[in-house]
Amino acid sequence: MIKYALTLLLATAALAQDPLRNVSGTTPNPGAAAPWIQSKHGLWTVFLGYDAHITSVTESGPDEQRAEFFSTNWVAGGVHRAFGDRGFLLLRWRGSLEPFTITDDEGYPQMLQYVSAESGGVLIDRMRPHDLIGEAAVHVGWRPTQSTLVHVYGAAVGDPALGAAPYALRASGADFAEAPFAYDIQENWHDSTKVVTAGFATRFLSLEGSVFHDAVTFGDHTEIDNGDIDSNSVRLTFTPTQNIAIQVSRGELGEDDAQRKITSASASYGTEHAAVTALWTRREHDFGGEETAYGFELALRGTRNTFMGRAEWVDRYRGFPAPPAAGPFLTEQTTHFAVGYIFDVISGTRHRAGVGVNIDYHTQSHELPDEYGHKPQSVYLFARFRSR
């Protein structure tokens, strides 16, 4: 019995340190399965993943109601090679066609969304597309023992060790056609440039530190903001079981005269049929003021049916939707809910295709009747195609 338990523990430790489980940078989703379609070619493993929503959004409430088509999407892949049972080399990339499939220059409609200049805005009531290139990286690692790992990740474009996985790749959030309303506070650093991350991991704990350039793209989001390294972060992740991940992290982003300090904590649970994430993020500005976002996501998946929900409590500058004033500002909390359902017409072991709906609801809208009318709603109808 003791021998069996030890073997299981070492196998679980190796699985926890498997770089193929990472969905973005050095961040995995909880759960045992790697999220990619994989194939072996000699000593190399080739992997690929993709997700595409083709969406029609309609609004009710405002005098000028919008009805538009757009597509949110990403595709990722790479190659992996193990060197014995101790070392590995991983080459990975990720991109998005959203600069071409979201035709409006300011992004797709999302009532009560706000994207600041430091996130690629300023945008109000719209969400920006993802960058054309989201990751181009090399990841190498060495296991001093069967239960420890030393690793280095370097990326021309990539994800530093800060916060949870980005929403579009997070197991609890990937099924939604639209971004969270906390995007501006909790998501805007995932496509950084000149990223270098070094880390040490055991079965239960992982400690990582990153330096990077706080890249921001504007306009069509096809170019790369490749400035000097100006940011840093550190993240501690606790994995008491294979299906649970708890992270706390801290980052300092940007130049001294416009620096932002990010503090993040999240707890995630994932299995083949369920994914849950609770997030907390605080952003502090050097010029004064801070904003906090709380979020909760849930996805329940059957063979063909997926149910999802998202609840968010997000600080926003007082006076929204009027443009924000420069310098320190006062904030007030807004509350947002989204629910959704997907039915998969095709439900295979490698590919899924289905149709679904997301509906947004906002509790603070009655305070803005002139701009949004009575109980504004956004309904997103979509076809969704994804790997696995």
Distance (Å, rounded) from C-alpha 45 to C-alpha 311? Answer: 38
Identify the pLDDT of residue 327: 67
Identify the pLDDT of residue 57: 96
Distance (Å, rounded) from C-alpha 134 to C-alpha 159? Answer: 8
122 cis-preceded (ω within 30 degrees of 0): yes
> Amino acid identity, residue 369?
P
Rounded to an integer, what is the distance from CA 282 to the centroid of its chain?
16
In order along its 388 residues, the chain shows pLDDT tens digits of 544 444 444 444 555 578 889 999 999 999 877 789 999 999 999 999 999 999 999 988 777 788 899 999 999 999 999 999 899 999 999 999 999 999 887 899 999 999 998 899 899 999 999 999 999 999 999 999 989 999 999 999 999 999 999 999 999 999 999 999 999 999 999 999 999 999 999 999 999 999 999 999 988 899 999 899 999 999 999 999 999 999 999 999 998 767 899 999 999 999 999 999 999 999 998 877 899 999 999 999 999 999 999 999 999 888 888 877 776 677 888 899 999 999 999 998 899 999 999 999 887 666 666 778 777 889 999 999 999 8
* C-beta of residue 148 within 8 angstroms of C-beta of residue 207: no
> Amino acid identity, residue 174?
A
Identify the pLDDT of residue 115: 93
What's the N-to-C CA distance of the chain in angstroms? 35
Question: Which of 374, 304, 349 is closest to 63 using CA atoms?
Answer: 374
CA distances (Å), origin 34, targets 15, 42, 47, 157: 10, 20, 10, 22
Identify the pLDDT of residue 369: 65
* C-beta of residue 262 within 8 angstroms of C-beta of residue 283: yes
Secondary structure element (H or E) that encloses residue 79, with its range:
strand 67-83
321 cis-preceded (ω within 30 degrees of 0): yes
- Which superfamily does 2-387 belong to? Porin (2.40.160.10)
Prediction pTM value: 0.91
Domain boundaries, the chain: 2-387
CA distances (Å), origin 339, targets 109, 165, 266: 17, 21, 21
Secondary structure element (H or E) that encloses residue 154, with its range:
strand 149-158
Distance (Å, rounded) from C-alpha 66 to C-alpha 84? Answer: 57
Long-range contacts of the stretch 312-320 (C-beta < 8 A, 24+): 312/180, 312/181, 312/182, 312/336, 312/337, 314/181, 314/182, 314/185, 315/185, 315/290, 315/291, 316/114, 316/291, 317/114, 320/114, 320/124
Identify the pLDDT of residue 8: 41
